[in-house]
Chain A
Amino acid sequence: MLQKTSKLKLTKIAIALFSIFNLSTIGSLKAEEILRIGAIPDQNPEHLNRLYKVLSSELSKQLNVQVRYKPVTNYAAAVTAFRTENLDLVWFGALTGVQAKLQRKGSKVIAQRDIDEKFHSVFIANKKSSIQKINNINDLKTLKNKRFTFGSESSTSGRLMPQYFLNEAGLQLKDFKGGSPGFSGSHDATLMLVQSGSYEAGALSEEVWKRNLERGRVDPSKVFVIWKTPSYHNYHWLAQGNLDKKFKKGFTKDLTNVFLRFNEKSKKQKQILELFSAKKFIISKNENYKQIEKVARNIGKIK
């Protein structure tokens, strides 16, 4: 009995000591200013990890501040994180960027990739469906009563702009088979679901379509492009308006210039450009997104 109680006591003491040890590992708080960057990923984690590791270290080196990458997987969460100042600089899609800008006064679009200036969506269809290639936007009407899917509900190229062009052609969401379109969640999923035939047609970013073509994941005997949309502005870096105050005067300008100067001569910068699938970054401004804002208001994604 005595042995048992002492064994028990030891257990208790051990647990208590372990608890204290746990808490003692918590060090003092660091109060340094950190540039927190984030992005809405449409890529796999392995790719993202590499992307943001190189980018963080390059930004940190060039700007002489600590940089931390915060992963965000949910579009709405990214917008909220920007509104609540959890993030200083975010790689947004056009729609989410506009939403974030409206919720955070003073924020600034600073740069975008060369391809974002003239971005396109593609409408794709399964070969087994009776859908034909079209030349005129009005022919999108042929998608009436077909099984149709968008990507994520907040995606500019996977939902907003395709929906806008469908509306222009006189097609409403309820006109699709089943009374509503699907929302596959991502561009890749849209491609796979249309290629498999579960959906007869869908819309996705041209960039992702091309990437999948290159990787041999598109089966041309099953799926094809029926129409490419006119161009619009898409992805961009959106910065908080108070960065100059937080770091130093002229910081936002320096930050923009770092992006604009990225080139293929430096090994690290070349890697960043490759990972972003861009040739270079170009300057961009808030006004470029007026059209997107109008479309989003029409569709109800902005109140």
Chain B
Amino acid sequence: MKLIKPVSTLLTLIPSIAYIPISIEIIKGFHIGGLNIIFQFISSAIKPSFNQELVKSAWEGLQITIATALTSWVISMLIGIILGVLSTDLFWKSIPKFSYLGEFIKYSLAIPRSIHEVVWGLLFIQFLGLNIWVAIISIVIPYSALTARVISEQLDSFEIQPLIAIKQTGSNIMSSFITILLPKLIPIVSTYGSYRFECAIRGVTLLGIFGLGGIGTELYLTLKSFEFNEMWTCLWMLWFVIILLEKFIRFFRSYLSENISLKNSFSILILIFILSLSLGISWLYNLNFELFTPLSFSYLNFPSFVEIRNEFNTLPLFKLIITTILITFFASGIAIGTPPLLLVLFPGKFLLKVQNLIWIFFRLIPPPLTIILILLFTNPNISVAALSLGITHMGVMGRLLTDNILNQEKSIYRAIKSNGSSKQSATLYGILAPQSNSYLAYGAYRSDVILKETAIIGAVGGVGLGWQLQESLSSFNWAQVMIITATFSLLTILGEFLFNTSQNYWLSNSTNNFIS
């Protein structure tokens, strides 16, 4: 057992300081004018609409979302694994002549990764029109690049001695590579893969909010017209299905890990991919999507250099960037700080399980929805955007923390508590402390995701680069669209570098690893 540094434990709580400026701004603008609507929203939770038409269309939307998520998940995993292996140093050690190719792949993957799936979606819809493939491609591009990064980082963190040893015996390079790599690859794919599937569902739901169909579209339409009873029908259905799916995946994974040897797991993995792909595609087909009609590419008039330069001068880029960064900063504070704070304030196994369920729920409410609800009782400002984005990611962080704690050894907690400390301080030192380094590392990664996701929140809040992107797209001003997308991409690549550095710092001090 490593000695616990209290500093990182406290650091998990420090981000919640973001609540101070945010609360000040929100309280300053607070009013009760929207109270009755908020009340309607809450009371509608217990009386969702059971209108047959609505339930039917929500159910269809849910199927579209899950089938699309499944299809894009498989494709992105397959591409991600291949690209991941291709960008490891390990792989190119066997063919040193071309090792620059590996470096090239590794760094060029930063670009597809830097742009949020919704932005990809909004761009592709312009070229390919309204087509289910737009949703699939928009998920596949960033997700493959993300998966590739995780896979290559994990693989490169292993010892390479055995590989060298096998190579020296004179055996075939490729086969020795596979012998060494496969057993290591499979556990990563299994854990990271199921996490990615959950992300895919969230991603497709968000794409739906921006018009690409599925349950997201239904949710947004009900909110747009303030039909809360109908909105809750969609929310409850989504929540229920996701919990069932998670339970199933967990059961399936533990079944596989207990019953199947590593040797067979490779073929099982391949079979799972084939099954998911065929299921996803046939499902979408049966939902009436024209999957097999060839995509028609529609050309746009690309802007000239002069146009781009003119737009560059008219756009208030500096202001947009600053707002985007501020939103990221505060949203990250809320997302990272809240779960540990609640954990310490409300300790105990039962409360922990309650928190776990609450987090699943928050994770599923898309930010564009929360922003309107928050706006009902406070005046518009940046905090509203930050809060709504923070809430969703707070759900992701909280879920992860409570999950890990529910699986963690309780010995330190018991020891501290038997010394006569209060439940709260025992939780702080016995439960939170062993998690804090890896939690912070994951938090750094989350901030990276939050930065990318400001792309969608601005669109509703009227602030930041995201809103400008939406405005430029709806004016079909391609010069502006190009500038905004490029700025966004640069900003997130920079952000990724920063967050990655801090993530590595926390991981190097960590006792367990969250992502893998």
- Chain A residues at the B interface, C-beta cutoff of 8 Å: 4, 8, 11-12, 15-16, 18-20, 22-23, 25-26, 29, 41-50, 70-77, 79-81, 83-87, 99, 103, 126, 128, 147, 149, 153-154, 178, 180-186, 188-189, 192-193, 195-199, 217, 222, 300-303
Q: Would you call A16 and B271 a contact (CB within 8 A)?
A: yes
Contact of A73 among B51, B131, B217, B380 (CB under 8 A): B217
User: Could you list 23 A-B pairs, sorted by A, with CB under 8 Å?
Assistant: A12-B267, A19-B279, A29-B292, A43-B225, A46-B51, A46-B54, A49-B57, A73-B221, A74-B125, A76-B126, A99-B476, A128-B33, A182-B380, A188-B226, A189-B226, A193-B34, A193-B372, A193-B376, A195-B33, A198-B31, A198-B376, A300-B477, A303-B476
Contact of A45 among B222, B372, B375, B462 (CB under 8 A): B222
B475 contact set on A, CB distance < 8 A: 300-303
Given contacts A48-B221, A197-B34, contact A178 B380 (CB under 8 A): yes
* In the complex, residue of chain A having the shortest beta-carbon distance to the beta carbon of B277: A19
The B461-487 residues at the A interface (CB cut-off 8 A) are 461-463, 467, 470-471, 473-477
Tell me, in angstroms, the Cα distance from A50 to B212 when the chains sit together: 20
Q: Taking the nearest CB of chain B, how far is it from the CB of A54, in angstroms?
A: 12
B51 contact set on A, CB distance < 8 A: 46
Tell me, in angstroms, the Cα distance from A12 to B460 when the chains sit together: 47
Q: Would you call B34 and A79 a contact (CB within 8 A)?
A: no
B42 located at the interface, meaning its Cβ lies under 8 Å from any Cβ of chain A in the complex: no
Q: Would you call B285 and A26 a contact (CB within 8 A)?
A: yes
B49 contact set on A, CB distance < 8 A: 46
Q: Would you call A199 and B380 a contact (CB within 8 A)?
A: yes
Q: Would you call B380 and A74 a contact (CB within 8 A)?
A: no
Q: Would you call B230 and A44 a contact (CB within 8 A)?
A: yes
Q: Would you call A22 and B282 a contact (CB within 8 A)?
A: yes
Q: Would you call B54 and A84 a contact (CB within 8 A)?
A: no
B130 contact set on A, CB distance < 8 A: 70, 72, 77, 80-81, 84, 86-87
B473 contact set on A, CB distance < 8 A: 76
B275 located at the interface, meaning its Cβ lies under 8 Å from any Cβ of chain A in the complex: yes
Given contacts A72-B130, A195-B33, contact A8 B260 (CB under 8 A): yes
Q: Taking the nearest CB of chain A, how far is it from the CB of B373, in angstroms?
A: 10
* In the complex, residue of chain B having the shortest beta-carbon distance to the beta carbon of A73: B211
A23 contact set on B, CB distance < 8 A: 278, 281-282
Tell me, in angstroms, the Cα distance from A186 to B126 when the chains sit together: 23
Q: Taking the nearest CB of chain A, how far is it from the CB of B186, in angstroms?
A: 16
Q: Would you call A197 and B31 a contact (CB within 8 A)?
A: yes
The 8 A-B pairs of least Cβ separation, nearest first, read: A74-B211, A196-B34, A84-B129, A197-B33, A196-B33, A22-B278, A186-B224, A22-B282
B213 located at the interface, meaning its Cβ lies under 8 Å from any Cβ of chain A in the complex: yes
Q: Would you call B275 and A18 a contact (CB within 8 A)?
A: yes
Q: Taking the nearest CB of chain B, how far is it from the CB of A138, in angstroms?
A: 26
Q: Taking the nearest CB of chain A, how far is it from the CB of B348, in angstroms?
A: 38
Q: Taking the nearest CB of chain A, how far is it from the CB of B425, in angstroms?
A: 41
A195 contact set on B, CB distance < 8 A: 33-34
Q: Taking the nearest CB of chain B, how far is it from the CB of A20, in angstroms?
A: 8
Supply 20 further A-B pairs (C-beta < 8 A) apart from A71-B217, A76-B125, A99-B476. A15-B275, A23-B281, A25-B286, A26-B282, A45-B230, A46-B53, A46-B54, A75-B474, A77-B130, A83-B298, A149-B380, A183-B462, A185-B460, A186-B225, A189-B224, A192-B226, A196-B33, A196-B37, A197-B31, A198-B34
A22 contact set on B, CB distance < 8 A: 275, 278-279, 281-283
B63 located at the interface, meaning its Cβ lies under 8 Å from any Cβ of chain A in the complex: no
* In the complex, residue of chain A having the shortest beta-carbon distance to the beta carbon of B303: A303
Q: Taking the nearest CB of chain A, how far is it from the CB of B324, in angstroms?
A: 15
Contact of A44 among B37, B227, B476 (CB under 8 A): B227
B375 contact set on A, CB distance < 8 A: 184, 193, 198
Q: Would you call A198 and B462 a contact (CB within 8 A)?
A: no
Given contacts A19-B278, A302-B475, contact A72 B221 (CB under 8 A): no
Q: Would you call A80 and B225 a contact (CB within 8 A)?
A: no
Contact of B126 among A80, A180, A188, A303 (CB under 8 A): A80
Contact of B372 among A12, A189, A300 (CB under 8 A): A189
* In the complex, residue of chain A having the shortest beta-carbon distance to the beta carbon of B274: A19
Tell me, in angstroms, the Cα distance from A4 to B260 when the chains sit together: 9
Tell me, in angstroms, the Cα distance from A18 to B282 when the chains sit together: 11
A44 contact set on B, CB distance < 8 A: 221-222, 224-225, 227, 230
Q: Would you call A15 and B272 a contact (CB within 8 A)?
A: yes
B278 contact set on A, CB distance < 8 A: 18-20, 22-23
Q: Taking the nearest CB of chain B, how far is it from the CB of A87, in angstroms?
A: 8
Q: Would you call B125 and A15 a contact (CB within 8 A)?
A: no
Q: Would you call B282 and A25 a contact (CB within 8 A)?
A: yes
Q: Would you call A303 and B31 a contact (CB within 8 A)?
A: no
* In the complex, residue of chain B having the shortest beta-carbon distance to the beta carbon of A179: B319
B33 contact set on A, CB distance < 8 A: 126, 128, 195-198, 222
* In the complex, residue of chain B having the shortest beta-carbon distance to the beta carbon of A178: B380
Q: Would you call A153 and B471 a contact (CB within 8 A)?
A: yes
B140 located at the interface, meaning its Cβ lies under 8 Å from any Cβ of chain A in the complex: no
Tell me, in angstroms, the Cα distance from A85 to B130 when the chains sit together: 9
Q: Taking the nearest CB of chain A, how far is it from the CB of B153, in angstroms?
A: 30
Q: Would you call B271 and A12 a contact (CB within 8 A)?
A: yes
Residues 470-508 of B, flagged 1 when their CB comes within 8 A of A and 0 if not, give 110111110000000000000000000000000000000
Q: Taking the nearest CB of chain B, how far is it from the CB of A197, in angstroms?
A: 3
B377 located at the interface, meaning its Cβ lies under 8 Å from any Cβ of chain A in the complex: yes
Q: Taking the nearest CB of chain B, how far is it from the CB of A286, in angstroms?
A: 19
Q: Would you call B225 and A188 a contact (CB within 8 A)?
A: yes
B200 located at the interface, meaning its Cβ lies under 8 Å from any Cβ of chain A in the complex: no
Given contacts A81-B129, A81-B130, A222-B33, contact A181 B274 (CB under 8 A): no
B225 contact set on A, CB distance < 8 A: 42-44, 47, 186, 188
* In the complex, residue of chain A having the shortest beta-carbon distance to the beta carbon of B458: A183
Q: Taking the nearest CB of chain A, how far is it from the CB of B243, in angstroms?
A: 23
A183 contact set on B, CB distance < 8 A: 460, 462, 467
B380 contact set on A, CB distance < 8 A: 147, 149, 178, 182, 198-199
A85 contact set on B, CB distance < 8 A: 129, 296
B220 contact set on A, CB distance < 8 A: 73
Q: Taking the nearest CB of chain A, how far is it from the CB of B59, in angstroms?
A: 12
Tell me, in angstroms, the Cα distance from A198 to B49 when the chains sit together: 28
B264 located at the interface, meaning its Cβ lies under 8 Å from any Cβ of chain A in the complex: yes
* In the complex, residue of chain A having the shortest beta-carbon distance to the beta carbon of B220: A73
Residues 189-232 of B, flagged 1 when their CB comes within 8 A of A and 0 if not, give 00000000000000000001111110001101110111100100
Given contacts A26-B285, A46-B51, contact A74 B264 (CB under 8 A): no
Residues 276-306 of B, flagged 1 when their CB comes within 8 A of A and 0 if not, give 0011011101100000110010100000000
